[in-house]
A = this chain, B = another copy of it.
C-alpha cells in the first residue's frame, strides 16, 4: 500500500510530505516539542504500538529530525532529541494546531493554549511576511517559478 514517492517531485511541499506525511509523524513531533524524549514516554502518551513507534522514530532519526543519544550506560538507554532540522518543523506543527483550533475544536474550545513568554501574552500563531511583517494572505502572494519567474499556473501559456 505504498504510494508514489513525493521526493522526486520538484516541489518543497511534496518533499516535506515525503518526510513528515506519515500518519503518526507529526504527533511524534508534537510530543517531542512538548519535551518528551524517551521511548516509553512517547509510547504511553501516544498509545501507539511499539513497533510502529520504533519505525517512526527511526525514520525521524534517519532524516536528521531527531537525534538518538545515550543517556544511561547500564543498561544502555537512548533518548530522542530534536535537531535544528527538527526544531524547524515548529511552524508546521503550530499551523496544524491553529487550523484545528479554528475548525475542529468542540464547544469547550481548543484543548491547548499558547503563552508567548517574550511578551507574556496568550497568543495564536500568524503566518507573516519575512520582509514587512504583515500577515501573508493567499490572494496577496504570487508564487513564481524560480527559473523562469513565471507564475506557477501560467494562464497565458
- A interface, how many residues as a size bin? 35 or more
Q: Which residues of B contact A16 (CB under 8 A)?
A: 96-97, 99-100, 103-104
Within A105-119, which residues are at the interface with B (CB < 8 Å)?
A: 105-106, 108-119
Q: Are B129 and A127 in contact (CB under 8 A)?
A: no
Q: Which residues of B contact A99 (CB under 8 A)?
A: 12, 16, 88-89, 91-92
A140 at the interface (CB under 8 A from B): yes
* Complex alpha-carbon distance, A97 and B15, angstroms: 9
Q: Are A104 and B152 in contact (CB under 8 A)?
A: no
CB distance from A66 to the nearest CB of B (A): 14
| Chain B residue nearest to A63 in the complex (CB) | B103
| With known contacts A13-B96, A34-B153, A143–B121 Cβ distance under 8 A | no
* Complex alpha-carbon distance, A6 and B97, angstroms: 13
Contact residues of A with B, CB < 8 Å?
Answer: 1, 3, 6-7, 10-21, 23-24, 26-27, 30, 33-36, 82, 85, 87-106, 108-119, 121-134, 136-138, 140-147, 152-153, 155
User: Which 4 A-B residue pairs are closest in the complex by CB-CB distance?
Assistant: A12-B100, A119-B132, A121-B131, A15-B104
